């Protein structure tokens, strides 16, 4: 019998994780210590990137990327409409303008043709978002950014371990951001990472995460000096050694967790793929999905009320489905800036029917079967 309630996602902590954190607690450095560099090097090796910079959360990763790239007032950044608010908010943090791009109806990732149509003389960057763990069309977006001399940023927070045309998420864009929130693929409690091939960008990111100061306490201790210089207006976006030790420990299990997520996704697809009332996310040839989420869309003439009924009914059963996401510009803050409904009609239509099903490596087959059975029963009743 399944344990209830069933969340849409959750973390997995074991004794090795706890022991890794305890070792740091018993050591000399709780922050800016050796565990930070160890995690950065391990994550860079996992992704295949030249550099990785650990920061306090995924939003900080996005913010610092904008800062390090010199984006500011008067600049425009193209961002997919269907994403978490942080993807767009980071552009606002530096005073730039968000230009929202629509999505492709089948993959739910950004529509490359729409992105191309939005490029102006003020455009400074294109942001891809790997929605649910499916890489955006990184190959074409990379070429588009190169053609126009634009920064290419990837919000890969859903997609560590995913691939597009044989290239790993974290190795295609100029900078790729990741999140280690508890429901993500691995967790540090809160935390984030930026990967880049550029040594110069990595150096800027490290300075900006530490108040704009060129050295941290450990570097000064090793050099035998107290002196430091603040060269930019930075932030305290550091990730502690305790969190990094947890991240390094979790990273060892990430390949197995990814394999399990893909097994669960295959079981969902086999059970739901032929249900007329539901539409599943398409996975293009050449893409490997990381399945942070397993989204389904309710079809029909009135998907929004049907989705609402399914959401309520399933949660009444203790199945805590969720919705990812309302198009960012429909939130009150962005409406106050002048953005209006109708801007990205495909994203709005997708949102009306979206529902995220439970997905995490510890989800058992029996519990997943209970979720599937309940969903199918409620689809018959409400759709």
Among 217, 251, 285, residue at a domain's last position: 251
pLDDT at 2: 66
Q: Assess whether 189 and 265 both reside in one domain.
A: no
Among 226, 251, 276, residue at a domain's last position: 251
For residue 64, cis peptide bond before it (omega within 30 degrees of 0):
no
Q: Assess whether 231 and 261 both reside in one domain.
A: no
- Say if 2 falls within a structural domain: no
Q: Which distant-in-sequence residues (6+ apart) come within 8 Å of 106 by Cβ?
A: 281, 282
- Cα separation of 298 and 382, whole Å? 10
Q: Assess whether 264 and 279 both reside in one domain.
A: yes
Instruction: Kindly report the CATH number assigned to the domain that includes residue 30.
Output: 3.40.640.10
Q: Assess whether 98 and 198 both reside in one domain.
A: yes
| Radius of gyration of the CA atoms of the chain, in A | 21
For residue 328, cis peptide bond before it (omega within 30 degrees of 0):
no
Q: Assess whether 259 and 283 both reside in one domain.
A: yes
**Sheet with 294-298, edge to edge strand ranges:** 278-280, 294-298, 354-357
| 39, 248 contact by CB (below 8 A) | yes
- Say if 281 falls within a structural domain: yes
Of the candidates 349, 344, 341, the one whose C-alpha atom is nearest the C-alpha of residue 118 is: 344
Q: Assess whether 107 and 205 both reside in one domain.
A: yes
> What is the DSSP pairing of strand 6-7 with strand 319-320?
parallel
pLDDT at 1: 47
Query: Which tokens hold the place of 356?
Result: 């995220």
Instruction: Kindly report the CATH number assigned to the domain that includes residue 344.
Output: 3.90.1150.10
Range of the domain at 243: 15-251
- Cα separation of 194 and 248, whole Å? 15
- Cα separation of 24 and 106, whole Å? 46
Q: Assess whether 225 and 239 both reside in one domain.
A: yes
- Cα separation of 331 and 214, whole Å? 38
- Say if 105 falls within a structural domain: yes
- Cα separation of 268 and 306, whole Å? 20
> What is the DSSP pairing of strand 294-298 with strand 354-357?
antiparallel
- Say if 307 falls within a structural domain: yes
- Cα separation of 342 and 329, whole Å? 10
pLDDT at 383: 85
Give exposure, 74-113, as e/b (b: 16+ Cβ within 10 Å): ebbbbbbbbbbbbbbbbbbbbebebbbbbbbeebbbbbbe
pLDDT at 215: 87
Q: Assess whether 91 and 185 both reside in one domain.
A: yes
Of the candidates 293, 322, 83, the one whose C-alpha atom is nearest the C-alpha of residue 280 is: 293
Q: Assess whether 170 and 281 both reside in one domain.
A: no
Q: Assess whether 258 and 320 both reside in one domain.
A: yes
| 142, 111 contact by CB (below 8 A) | no
Query: Which tokens hold the place of 72?
Result: 């500011």
Q: Assess whether 258 and 194 both reside in one domain.
A: no
Domain tally for the chain? Answer: 2
pLDDT at 219: 87
Per residue of the chain (383 residues), give pLDDT as tens: 467 899 999 999 999 999 999 999 999 999 999 999 999 999 999 999 999 999 999 999 999 999 999 999 999 999 999 999 999 999 999 999 999 999 999 999 999 999 999 999 999 999 999 999 999 999 999 999 999 999 999 999 999 999 999 999 999 999 999 999 999 999 999 999 999 999 999 999 999 999 999 988 888 889 999 899 999 999 999 999 999 999 999 999 999 999 999 999 999 999 999 999 999 999 999 999 999 999 999 998 999 999 999 999 999 999 999 999 999 999 999 999 999 999 999 999 999 999 999 999 999 999 999 999 999 999 999 88
Q: Which residues are catalytic?
A: 184
Q: Assess whether 243 and 296 both reside in one domain.
A: no
- pTM value? 0.97
In percent, how much of the chain has pLDDT > 90?
96
Among 199, 228, 251, residue at a domain's last position: 251
């Amino acid at each position: 019998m399944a344990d209830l309630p069933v969340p849409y996602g959750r973390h997995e902590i074991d004794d090795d994780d706890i022991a890794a954190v305890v070792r740091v607690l018993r050591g000399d450095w709780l922050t800016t210590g050796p565990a930070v560099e160890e995690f950065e090097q391990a994550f860079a090796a996992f992704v295949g990137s030249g550099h990785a910079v650990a920061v306090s959360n995924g939003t900080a990763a996005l913010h610092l990327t904008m800062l390090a790239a010199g984006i500011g007032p008067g600049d425009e950044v193209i961002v997919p409409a269907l994403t978490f608010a942080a993807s767009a908010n980071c552009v606002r943090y530096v005073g730039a303008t968000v230009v929202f791009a629509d999505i492709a109806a089948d993959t739910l990732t950004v529509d490359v043709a729409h992105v191309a149509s939005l490029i102006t003389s003020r455009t400074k960057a294109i942001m891809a978002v790997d929605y649910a763990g499916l890489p955006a069309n990184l190959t074409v977006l990379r070429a588009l950014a190169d053609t126009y001399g634009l920064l290419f940023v990837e919000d890969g927070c859903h997609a560590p371990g995913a691939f597009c045309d044989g290239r790993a998420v974290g190795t295609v864009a100029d900078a790729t951001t990741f999140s280690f929130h508890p429901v993500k693929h691995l967790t540090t409690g809160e935390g984030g990472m930026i990967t880049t091939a550029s040594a110069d960008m990595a150096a800027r990111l490290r300075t900006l995460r530490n108040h704009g100061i060129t050295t941290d306490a450990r570097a000064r201790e090793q050099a035998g000096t107290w002196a430091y210089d603040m060269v930019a207006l930075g932030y305290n976006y550091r990730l502690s050694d305790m969190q990094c030790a947890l991240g390094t420990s979790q990273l060892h299990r990430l390949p197995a967790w990814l394999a399990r997520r893909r097994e669960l996704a295959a079981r969902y697809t086999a059970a739901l793929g032929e249900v007329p009332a539901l539409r599943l996310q398409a996975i293009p040839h050449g893409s490997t999905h990381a399945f942070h989420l397993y989204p389904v869309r309710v079809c029909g003439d009135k998907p929004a009320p049907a989705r609402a009924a399914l959401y309520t009914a399933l949660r009444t059963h203790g199945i805590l489905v969720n919705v990812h996401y309302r198009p960012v510009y429909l939130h009150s803050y962005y409406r106050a800036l002048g953005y209006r409904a109708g801007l990205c009609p495909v994203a709005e239509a997708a949102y009306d029917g979206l529902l995220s099903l439970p997905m995490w490596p510890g989800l058992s087959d029996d519990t997943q079967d209970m979720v599937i059975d309940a969903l199918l029963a409620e689809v018959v009743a409400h759709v």
